[in-house]
Amino acid sequence: MNPDHPRERVSRAFAAEYGSEPAALVRAPGRVNLIGEHTDYNDGFVLPMALDRAAWIALTPRTDGIVRLHALDLEQRGVFDVATATRRDARGDPHAEHGGWLEYPRGVAWALQESGGHVLRGFDGVLASDVPRGAGLSSSAAVELAVAAAFQVSSAFAWDVADVARRMQRAENRWVGVASGIMDQLIGAAGVAHHAVLIDCRDLSTRPVPLPPECAIVVLDTATRRGLVGSAYNERRAQCEAAARALGVSALRDADGAALEAARPGLDELVYRRARHVISENRRVLEAVQALEDGDSARFGGLMDASHESLRLDFEVSSEALDAIVASARAAPGCLGARMTGAGFGGCAVALVERASLPEFLTAAAAAYRSASGREGELLVATAAAGAGRATS
């Protein structure tokens, strides 16, 4: 194992911090969404895969409710009592060392306990991650799920994938303050090695979809970042809700293109275009699953291209850097399709690439993006990984 891998780093740091070996290691992956952007909070369909980049926690359970956590990447330490994780204001918790990053584990403790949830015991832990922050690869959801997995070890509650995902979404929505959908948390909990996962964001059903062995998934990091809470994400969600109300449906999942066109004269043009993206994107996800199951990688790549154009023009969440790296990927050898991934406004794109051309693709795409943007993008050949839980040796 690479000594710089977060698994090794948290194990070493735990021994140094607490004077003993950890009792357990847990991990929770980041994710890359292959297609289906801004459909999750519209009760639609998404096709992500869990990444082999993950958040890791080395821990030893405690018999009380105290959580002591060293965030290794930030070189910060936090302490709180799960019994007082009932509000974001940490006053009244004699154990709390209040800080911005600590709101994530405190929010997890709140979400796991609320509404007749689990009885939690604390733990001593060290946290590290190699999921890039702010890149649209769900670094925050990975941390949340890793903390949830640590609580599962310390508290021995049943790990129900859908329930944990819903609770982590509530932590993100109601504690952190981001109106995210369920995709990030659910793929992080339900990932399947070597597969993408089709998620129905209404009933939370999942179906593994095998990835083509002759192709590679390449994540293309623009080296630009966006702040999700301060971005236009929440505004886009509100526009989608306005479109659903105008169309007389509970969510845009229930609308089709014909209904949207019929209602267009009475819709604000911006709301119309937001809805057109969501409705067409839901259709593209289902077509993409069929293409993969038919072994039609070229068709899948074409749907990725169409998704990016819809996100760029109708949903307006791309950026100059994202457009540049997508264009650089598409022009490189072996690329079958590329699109931005994540909420947008910066971060990463994803490409489907023929493995036979992978070395040439990586060299050409990186050079083209450098020339177009003046930035050094990072290209990661990704492997689909399993979901969150206790790590095995």
Model pLDDT for residues 163-210, shown as the tens digit of each residue: 999 999 999 888 877 777 789 999 999 999 999 999 999 999 999 999
Return the percentage of the chain with pLDDT > 90, whole number.
Answer: 83
Residue of higher predicted confidence among 124 and 99? 124
Residue type for position 72:
L
Domain locations in the chain?
Answer: 6-206, 211-382
The half-sphere exposure of 336 on its side-chain side, counting CA atoms within 13 A, is 23
Residues identified as active-site? 184
DSSP H or E run through 55 = strand 45-61
The CATH homologous superfamily to which domain 211-382 belongs is GHMP kinase, C-terminal domain (3.30.70.890)
168: which residues sit within 8 A by CB, 6+ positions away? 108, 111, 141, 144, 145, 148, 185, 188, 189
**Fold adopted by 6-206:** Ribosomal Protein S5; domain 2 (3.30.230)
Helices (H), the chain: 6-18, 103-113, 139-155, 161-170, 183-190, 233-247, 257-263, 269-293, 297-313, 320-331, 358-373
Answer whether residue 364 shows pLDDT above 90. yes
Residue type for position 280:
S
What letter does residue 332 receive in the DSSP assignment?
Answer: S
229: which residues sit within 8 A by CB, 6+ positions away? 176, 177, 178
In order of 108, 256, 283, 314, the CA distances from 277 in angstroms are 32, 11, 10, 6
Cβ contact 191:385 at 8 Å: yes
pLDDT digits (tens, 9 = 90+) for 51-94: 999 999 999 999 999 999 999 999 999 999 999 887 665 555 55
Answer whether residue 393 shows pLDDT above 90. no
What letter does residue 334 receive in the DSSP assignment?
Answer: T
Q: The whole model's pTM is what? A: 0.90
The half-sphere exposure of 273 on its side-chain side, counting CA atoms within 13 A, is 12
> In this predicted structure, what is the pLDDT of residue 85?
86
Asked if domains 6-206 and 211-382 share a fold, the reply is: no
